[in-house]
Amino acid sequence: MDVSESELLRTFTSVDKDDNGRVWAWELLSSLGQAGIQPTDPRVRAALADVRGEDGREIRIDIQPVEIDFRQYAEIAQHGDGVVYRALAGQLAVSPEEFREYARSIEAMYADLLPNRDGHVADYIPTLRDADPEKFGIAICTADGQVFSIGDTTDEFSVQSTSKPFNYAIALEQLGPEEVHRWVGQEQSGGPFNDPNLSLGRDGRPRNPMINAGAIGTLALVDTGQDQSARFTTVRDTWAAMTGKRPELHGATFLAERDTGFGNVRFANGLMQANKLRGARPNDRRAPEDAVEFYTMICSLNLNAELLARAGATLANGGVAPSGERVFSPETAGRVLAVMGHSGMYDGSGEFSDQVGLPAKSGVSGNVMMVVPSEGLAVVTYSPRLDPTGNSVRGVEVCKRFVNEFGLHPYRGTGAERGRPAAAGSGQQFAGALNEADRRAEAASAVDRALGGLSRPGTGGAGVLQTTDAERTGVAATRRAAQPGQQL
């Protein structure tokens, strides 16, 4: 990235509070954190890894207090895609001020919903049945990799049905929409994701890629004719391109789902009989089982909320990952979001569309991924307790509140200025008995620490100070005390 010296100097002086021509590394990282770019971001780590002293030797910013002069800063700021410069210049997908407001809202939602114990974990396989129902995390990621997370966002879970949009995207990239939709439809099924009577249309095609039959048929389109290991590698590599990490297969989940997936085998046999399982030879008795096995492998990939938020941000950014790598074409991303919009939330998709109005996908492990294309970001939650349609109770509530808090429903308030709904006390705002000023003040301290609170010189390094469980519990207790009897 090539930036003029005057622009570099302007951003440098914004960090140089002492006006002495040098900045502490922790001050730089703290300023980046305030914009949502974390010290663990691979782009930041790569930029800092190249810092050299005047004698040319490497400086270990991660283990010692270091001051950076303007020459060193200029190299850091322009490294790679220039994320350091763009963050300090306010040129990211979301401004630092707006990102902090998002983060404070998420902090308050987390505190409000932490006591909510409605719903039940999925119980049809042991690894889902044995999940800790108390787990709860929320992560947001923007197109430029701005990240805020709270709670259990690094705890891994099997991605389950939230893999389906990305399977569809890979198939579209390889074959194009015309060929893909010869085999898989685009319409709502009108029933649950595993309904044997509604999953296939009259022509034998699965109704859409978001139900089990459709996902099995979609994956049959990926690298057709290649062996299973090569196809599995293609899918994992796609996840790595979106998230920066190649997901691992959770063996226990895979084995349990494979051994209990009789309904999925029935779907695959139906596709075989209708000649809608691409690449399968008519006399290949193993084809349905192989198709289901591949589908089950993909559902059993392990991710966490922060990584899934990066994948969602890739769709929000027209197929470009937060790292800047193009993974899908804009046309593919748009088609995927369209199908998510009408069929992404199981048999609760219609109600979700009415109340939220944004594309989303859920998985029975308790994850929900909501994409906000207008803001270039994704919101992901993890909470294993599910409602009767198989969607995370807390996750759906976070989506509703985020949309209502920031006026993001695309079909409501059209023509009005973007912002929070003006109707106070509508029942949708989550502040309850606490007024808006109190809510912001309550959340601001913890969020500012999480976004920009970094260790000072002499403490052995620089890292984001996470909001502690005690702090979160204290906030939740304060809000419950102020809102006795509030229904969550």
Q: What pLDDT, in 10s, does the model give residues 283-331?
A: 676 778 888 999 999 999 999 999 999 999 999 999 999 999 999 999 9
The band of 101, judged by pLDDT with boundaries at 50, 70 and 90, is very high
**Phi, psi (deg, nearest 5) at residue 63:** -125, 0
**Average of pLDDT values for 460-482?**
38
- Looking at residue 263, what is its pLDDT? 78
- Report pLDDT for 286: 74
Q: From the CB of residue 130, how many other CB atoms can be counted at a distance below 10 Å?
A: 12
- The predicted pLDDT at position 444 comes to 58
Element at 330 (helix H, strand E): helix 330-343
Torsion of CA 266, 268, 272, 277, to 10 degrees: 170
pLDDT level of residue 1 (50, 70, 90 thresholds):
confident
Q: Among residues 112, 71, 105, 138, which one has the least CA distance to residue 436?
A: 105
Which pLDDT belongs to residue 261?
76
| Percent of the chain scoring above 90 in pLDDT | 65
pLDDT band at 200 (very low <50, low <70, confident <90, very high): low
Rounded distance between C-alpha atoms, residue 369 and residue 4, angstroms: 39
Please count the other Cβ atoms lying within 10 Å of the Cβ belonging to residue 325. Answer: 14
Three-state secondary-structure class, residue 460: coil
Q: How many CB atoms lie within 10 A of CB 120?
A: 14
SS3 content of the chain, % helix, strand, coil (to 5): 45, 10, 45
pTM of the entire predicted model: 0.84
Lowest-confidence pick of 93-107, 108-122, 343-357, 473-487: 473-487
Strands 67-69 and 22-24: antiparallel
End-to-end CA, the chain: 48
Structural domains of the chain ordered from first start = 5-88 (1.10.238.210), 160-302 (3.40.710.10)
Quote the pLDDT of residue 429.
38
Please choose, from the candidates 100, 148, 116, the residue with its C-alpha nearest in 3D space to the C-alpha of residue 476.
Answer: 116
Which pLDDT belongs to residue 262?
75
Q: Which of 302, 301, 281, 305 is nearest to 291 (CA)?
A: 281
Binding residues for substrate, as ranges, are 161, 212, 257, 264, 295, 346, 364
Neighbouring residues of 479: CB distance < 8 A, sequence distance ≥ 6? 108, 111, 112, 432, 434, 442
In degrees, to the nearest 5, what angle opens at C-alpha 448 toward C-alphas 446 and 452? 125
pLDDT tens digits along 136-149: 999 999 999 999 99
Whether residue 269 contacts residue 308, with contact meaning beta carbons closer than 8 Å, is answered with no
- For the chain, what's the residue count? 488
Binding-site annotation, residues:
161, 212, 257, 264, 295, 346, 364
Give the per-residue pLDDT at 432: 38
φ, ψ of residue 65 in degrees (nearest 5)? -70, 130
> What angle is formed at CA 195 by the lines to CA 192 and CA 197, rounded to 5 degrees?
135
Look at residue 200 and give its three-state secondary structure.
strand
Mean predicted lDDT score pLDDT of the chain: 83
Percent of the chain residues past pLDDT 70, beyond the cut: 75
Tell me 161's DSSP state. Answer: G
The H-assigned helical ranges of 89-220 are: 96-113, 126-129, 164-175, 177-183, 212-219
Q: What does the block give as tokens for 252?
A: 């226990």
pLDDT tens digits, residue range 398-457? Answer: 999 999 999 999 998 765 555 544 433 333 333 333 444 454 455 555 566 567 655 444
User: Which residue has tokens 């290649």?
Assistant: 226
Using an 8 Å Cβ cutoff, are 329 and 340 in contact?
no
Q: What is the DSSP string of 93-121?
A: SS-HHHHHHHHHHHHHHHHHHTT---SB-
SS3 of 354, please? helix
Segment 151-180 shows an average pLDDT of 97
Contacts of residue 290, defined as CB under 8 A and 6 or more positions apart, other chains included, come to 228
**Per-residue confidence (pLDDT) for residue 447, from 0 to 100:** 67
Of the pLDDT bands very low, low, confident and very high (cuts 50, 70, 90), residue 273 is: low
Which of the pair, 273 or 392, is modelled with greater confidence?
Answer: 392
Rounded Cα distance, 462 and 17, in Å: 18
Q: What does the alpha-carbon distance between residue 383 and residue 279 come to, in Å, rounded to a whole number? A: 38
* Sequential DSSP letters for 242-268: HHSSPPPB-HHHHHHHHHH-HHHHHHH
In this predicted structure, what is the pLDDT of residue 260?
85
Q: What are phi and psi of 160, to 5 degrees?
A: 55, -135
pLDDT at 194: 54
Q: Specify the pLDDT at position 219.
A: 95
What is the mean pLDDT of the segment spanning 172-196? 81
The alpha carbon of residue 336 and the mean position of all alpha carbons in its chain are separated, in whole angstroms, by 15
